[in-house]
Structure 1
Amino acid sequence: MTYLYDIHCQHNDSLLSAGNFQLGEGGEVLKLYSEVEERCLDSLMRDMLRPFVPQYHGLVTRGEHCYIRLEDLLSGLRRPVIMDCKMGVRTFQVEELITARAKASMRSDMYQKMVNVDPSAPSAEEHAQKAVTKLRYLQWRDTTSSSSTLGFRIEGIMMDDGSIQRDFRNIRTLAQATEALLFFTRSHLDILKAYHSRLLALSEALKNSLFFRTHEVIGSSLLFVHDHSSKASVWMIDFGKTTPVPNMSQLLHDVPWAEGSREDGYLIGLTSLIASLGQAISVASWQQQDGCVGEKHVT
């Protein structure tokens, strides 16, 4: 959601330094430097996945900060509509889990985040302490969303009027995800088909990607972008938690995660999204045909 919100701000000539993003002099987007993300992007520029990630143009320094120079994914779009889908069955790193378990301190900030989403989620003891451990929060966050059931969750949608919708936490099933996709695209058949085609191409590229086989992809998103001209595309973004798998082993990405495993379930989420888009295309096609029949009947 940070990317979605900050880029929206920039394209509406508002806060140019909102969050971790700025606009570059050449029209590219500048993202606050992360060594992990920079290494990933550098590798991706030489991988099968290059057409599916924002183009990386090196580093630049502004004042005291270093930034990663990235392609502006909204260039050429008028009043873009954007959706951020967090991919995988878990959004925390194994190391985060180990650290959280070793340092089981109570966190009032995470308790508040939990209560804001679901006041009944904390136990009686946690309510009394008004705090939860980071381990408890990390596991709760993923298991109470479609991350656990579908392998992805919708972080937010920005419509063409700039309004941002974040309340998708109740989505648990493919049918509910399909409803969200129809809302996001306003049941526009060409846009739905463009997204479906792009994800099928991404699926093929992932099968042949050395980067994907050898990296644990955590906390990464698929960014869906379209406008009223029916231009539509999907991009892999956010690699700040994506790290190489130890000992040169390779991941499947399509099996559930179990503690001790490095599997992320990325392909579980991609398969769900492709299936959900297929369902949305069927619904939109039916709606279009039904509308035509209705018009003929009126005539």
Structure 2
Amino acid sequence: MNLLRKTKSWKTFFTVVHWTYRRSNSWVQLAGHEGNFRFSEAGHILKKFSVNESRCLQQLMGDVLRPYVPAYYGVVDKDSEQFIQMEDLLMGLSSPCIMDCKIGIRTYLEEEVTKSRQQLNLRKDLYQKMCKADPKAPNEEEHRRGGVTKLRYMQWRETMSSTASLGFRIEGITMENGTVHRDFKHTKTREQIIRTLIRFTDGCTETLEGYWFRLQAIKEALMQSQFFKSHELIGSSLLFIHEQKGRVNIWMIDFGKTTGLPEGQSLRHDLAWVEGNREDGYLLGLDNLLGLFSETMARQAALTPPQD
């Protein structure tokens, strides 16, 4: 299995995906964050400037995690705006399959919880979103008032997918032919995820194995990383990429909500979150991903007839 450790290709999946189809380049708008990305020179991509993300990427260039994040090339000005210039992780790949997994047991910051508690205004728009997904989700009082607080909505939202229970959720998938799948809001059980992994990899045990080894390598690097120990990673993703040639890779992306801890403090990343402990559950999600890839490989191996 050829693991792509230096592939010059990337794009945050759940914002914009760059794929090659019939030898013509296309941009597929997936959801949200429109306008966050711009074209750049070959091998690079521009992402709208974020102080947090820029600082994180700069620090990561000197950390043991450097082989697992897009290369950082500084900040550039374009059209009177500032952008982070980084490695385009999709360039050079032929019709890649891509999966974005949001990692961690929550996607909101502790300061958002505090702010929401201080401003207990009811949001009708969030109530309507909740009702659309599950009419039984709001309680009697919320139905009567026709609104929910942002805190209530944020915490409920994490229970709808596998975020709260498994420490990660699938955000979206782009298949080899460019077909985009985003219907994963209720993908929650291990069985549902295994079926999704089989569909994503076309059941190829070699591809599944490649991903497992890459996840294991990322975990080993995380355990040695000073950056990981001293940062709370919220809303970060793992970007899975493979193509039919057998090349497989996973990248750590999206550090806009990643924040450093006060000097002398550290996180374990494998504990449940209790307000105030800042634990993000990153390793809980990573371990569950490793286990699910192992289960998927075992299932596919059992389907393979023995060779003479």
User: Which TM-score applies when normalising by structure 2?
Assistant: 0.88
Deviation at residue 265 of structure 1 after TM alignment:
0.5
Preserved CA contact (<8 Å) 1:30 1:69: yes
The CA deviation string for residues 174-214 of structure 1, in whole angstroms up to 9 with x for no partner, is 33322211111110111111100000000100000000000
CA distance in 2, matches of 1:112, 1:52: 39
Preserved CA contact (<8 Å) 1:10 1:22: no
Deviation at residue 6 of structure 1 after TM alignment:
4.2
Is 1:282 the equivalent of 2:295? no
Is 1:190 the equivalent of 2:199? no
1:13 corresponds to? 26
Amino acid at match of 1:263: E
Deviation at residue 7 of structure 1 after TM alignment:
3.5
Deviation at residue 232 of structure 1 after TM alignment:
1.1
Query: 1:179 and 1:14, CA in 2 relative to 1: closer, same or farther beyond 3 A?
Result: closer
Give the CA RMSD over aligned residues: 2.1
Preserved CA contact (<8 Å) 1:38 1:68: yes
Count of aligned pairs: 291
Over the matched positions of the two proteins, sequence identity in percent amounts to: 45
Determine which of 193, 198, 203 is the counterpart of 1:177: 193
CA distance in 1, matches of 2:125, 2:109: 20
Tell me which moved more, 222-231 or 38-47: 222-231
Is 1:140 the equivalent of 2:153? no
2:65 corresponds to? 49
Determine which of 120, 135, 138 is the counterpart of 1:104: 120
The CA deviation string for residues 23-53 of structure 1, in whole angstroms up to 9 with x for no partner, is 2123311110000110000000000100000
Which structure carries more helix by proportion?
A: 1
Query: 1:143 and 1:18, CA in 2 relative to 1: closer, same or farther beyond 3 A?
Result: closer
The CA deviation string for residues 42-88 of structure 1, in whole angstroms up to 9 with x for no partner, is 00000010000011111111112111111111122111111111111
| Unmatched segments (≥5 aa) in structure 1 | 294-299
CA distance in 1, matches of 2:105, 2:154: 12
Q: Secondary structure at the match of 2:153?
A: helix
Q: Secondary structure at the match of 1:276?
A: helix
User: Which TM-score applies when normalising by structure 1?
Assistant: 0.91
Preserved CA contact (<8 Å) 1:154 1:168: yes
The CA deviation string for residues 230-274 of structure 1, in whole angstroms up to 9 with x for no partner, is 111001000011001124301100111111211111000000000
CA distance in 2, matches of 1:10, 1:192: 21
1:253 corresponds to? 269
Deviation at residue 5 of structure 1 after TM alignment:
4.8
Preserved CA contact (<8 Å) 2:236 2:254: yes
CA distance in 1, matches of 2:147, 2:81: 34
Amino acid at match of 2:12: Y
Deviation at residue 18 of structure 1 after TM alignment:
4.7
Q: Secondary structure at the match of 2:64?
A: coil
Preserved CA contact (<8 Å) 1:219 1:238: yes
- 1:70-89 counterparts in 2 under 5 A? 70-89=86-105
- 1:54-73 counterparts in 2 under 5 A? 54-73=70-89
| Unmatched segments (≥5 aa) in structure 2 | 1-10
Query: 1:203 and 1:120, CA in 2 relative to 1: closer, same or farther beyond 3 A?
Result: same
Q: Secondary structure at the match of 1:154?
A: strand
The CA deviation string for residues 92-150 of structure 1, in whole angstroms up to 9 with x for no partner, is 11111001111112223322332332232223443444432111111111123211111
CA distance in 2, matches of 1:269, 1:62: 37
Preserved CA contact (<8 Å) 1:32 1:68: yes
Amino acid at match of 2:26: D
Preserved CA contact (<8 Å) 2:19 2:90: no
1:3 corresponds to? 12
Q: Secondary structure at the match of 2:98?
A: strand
